[in-house]
Amino acid sequence: MFQDPDGVLHPRLDEFIVPDTHFVEENRGALQAIILTHAHEDHIGAILALWHRFPTRIYATPFTAEVLRRKVARSRDDRHNDILAQIVVVETNHWYQVGPFDIQWKPLTHSTLESNGLLIRTPVHSVFHTGDWKFDANPVIGPATPTPSEFALDDVCIDSVICDSTNALKPGHSVSEQVVMQGIRKTVAPLTGRVFVSCFASNVARLLSIAHVAKQTGRYLAVLGRAFENMISIARALDYWPKQLKIYSAAEVAYLPKEEVMYLVTGSQGEPRAALNMLTKGSFRGVDMEEGDSVIFSSMRIPGNEVEIARLIANIKARKVSVIENDMVEQDIHASGHPCRDELRHLYRHIKPKIMVATHGTAEHLYQHSLIAKECGVRRTLVGLNGDLFQLHPVSKRFEGYASTARVLLPSP
């Protein structure tokens, strides 16, 4: 751990920050399982570091389970192998009894494969936990999210909804992945040099879109970065990646004309060891970034990464390479994986819960989300802070500061 000039503490590359788990450890007798909604790092990233403190079953769909298995395979800690026997692979739209709960995984679209909401049923109360989600009728890969009127919840009367607030400040509807694919194609088509595209590795739909665009624009796509290689490998293993859609190695495209080459590169957030940063320094073996080439960021700037990204872009421009970001072109080349205000309205007007618990976002996101729910007829909204405990039955209320929200620094697993 080191401290920057502003007093902010940052982990070293070999360190790992996880939440304080004392609350879970103190109540481990009541812990029934770890339930995974999808494979993003902010949902599964701490499992290897913490599972041995409260070993229990882990329920996940096939894609999320395989991502977790491969994390275990890469681990240097033999204790993590015990996790493999505890992974329970579930089918969507089937009921599973987990202790006193009946749980069903309900498919929703998000920015990674097999994202799900959770329909949780007990004898006295039913809850729909959305996880991370959006409505997308054309997600490029995987099933479309049902429209609100098609969104079947097995005739369960939903008492409470626990819902994603990430885009509660944004009007309208989120952008479809199909629209993003069209936008990337329109952006790439007039370019004459090599094209480097960077996005989040977990967004398999985006990776597939980029592969399709390469083929449609007469370019051969090579992948630079282990994170992309791993995700494409998992997608292929689970039959999400078309067999006829070929990916090439850097060596295979090295001698092709510039206008026939596209690279998919890791490092959109300025990560120092990622392919894009290495390319700006001329240290990626076998691949050069030169004047006349273009870098497309099919991603957002995650808050907290602004300095690293600004430095990365400055280094790209220093090589006389063009930089294209989403706000620089008319067409969409990136889309959020979270619902905007109209999508939240659609959800509440269809499900008609009695109670809403807002999650994921700043205080303003949570508050504005609660206003949307009230506008749609939800009688009771609960907004709190990290560490608060919410009781939903028999009376809904919030217990402030019930659990510690400290952060714990561990060696990287």
Final residue before a domain boundary, out of 289, 306, 328: 328
Read off the pLDDT of each residue in 30-35 and give the average, rounded to a whole number.
Answer: 96
CA–CA gap between residue 295 and residue 248 (Å, rounded): 19
Tens-place pLDDT, residues 56-78: 999 999 999 999 999 999 998 89
Structurally, the chain folds into a number of domains equal to: 2
Tell me the pLDDT band of 404, cut-offs 50, 70 and 90.
confident
pLDDT of 142 above 70: yes
Token pair in block for residue 371: 């206003």
Tens-place pLDDT, residues 284-317: 999 999 999 999 999 999 888 899 999 999 999 9
Domain hosting residue 324, numbered range = 177-328
CA–CA gap between residue 283 and residue 279 (Å, rounded): 6
Residues 388 and 318 in one domain: no
Residues 151 and 10 in one domain: yes
Which candidate, 181, 173, 174, places its Cα nearest to that of 336?
174
Final residue before a domain boundary, out of 328, 345, 376: 328
Which candidate, 258, 260, 279, 268, places its Cα nearest to that of 214?
260
CA–CA gap between residue 95 and residue 63 (Å, rounded): 19
**Which pLDDT score, from 0 to 100, does residue 14 have?**
47
pLDDT of 2 above 70: no
**Which pLDDT score, from 0 to 100, does residue 5 have?**
34
**Which pLDDT score, from 0 to 100, does residue 412 have?**
64
Residues 19 and 47 in one domain: yes
Residues paired with residue 364 on neighbouring β-strands, in sequence order: none
Residues 148 and 189 in one domain: no
**Which pLDDT score, from 0 to 100, does residue 147 have?**
64
Residue pair 260/220 in contact (Cβ under 8 Å)? The answer is: yes
Residues 293 and 354 in one domain: no
Residues 125 and 86 in one domain: yes
Which candidate, 210, 239, 240, 212, places its Cα nearest to that of 225?
210
Tens-place pLDDT, residues 372-390: 999 999 999 999 999 999 9
- Within a 13 Å sphere around the CA of 243, how many CA atoms are in the beta-carbon half? 3
Residues 44 and 87 in one domain: yes
Which candidate, 21, 25, 60, places its Cα nearest to that of 43?
60
Q: How remote is the C-alpha of 406 from its chain's centroid?
A: 23
Residues 232 and 315 in one domain: yes
Instruction: Assign residue 299 the CATH number of its domain.
Output: 3.40.50.10710
**What percent of the chain clears pLDDT 90, i.e. is strictly above it?**
85
Average pLDDT, the chain: 92
Tell me the pLDDT band of 148, cut-offs 50, 70 and 90.
low
Final residue before a domain boundary, out of 298, 328, 358: 328
Residues 267 and 184 in one domain: yes
Residues 233 and 377 in one domain: no
**Which pLDDT score, from 0 to 100, does residue 407 have?**
83
Instruction: Assign residue 78 the CATH number of its domain.
Output: 3.60.15.10
**Which pLDDT score, from 0 to 100, does residue 143 have?**
79
Residues 132 and 267 in one domain: no
Task: Give me Rg for the CA atoms of the chain.
Answer: 22
Which candidate, 289, 276, 286, 299, places its Cα nearest to that of 322?
289
Tell me the pLDDT band of 154, cut-offs 50, 70 and 90.
low
pTM of the model: 0.93
Residues 396 and 306 in one domain: no
Read off the pLDDT of each residue in 258-265 and give the average, rounded to a whole number.
Answer: 98
Tens-place pLDDT, residues 75-119: 988 999 999 999 999 999 999 999 999 999 999 999 999 999 999
The SS3 of residue 66 is: helix
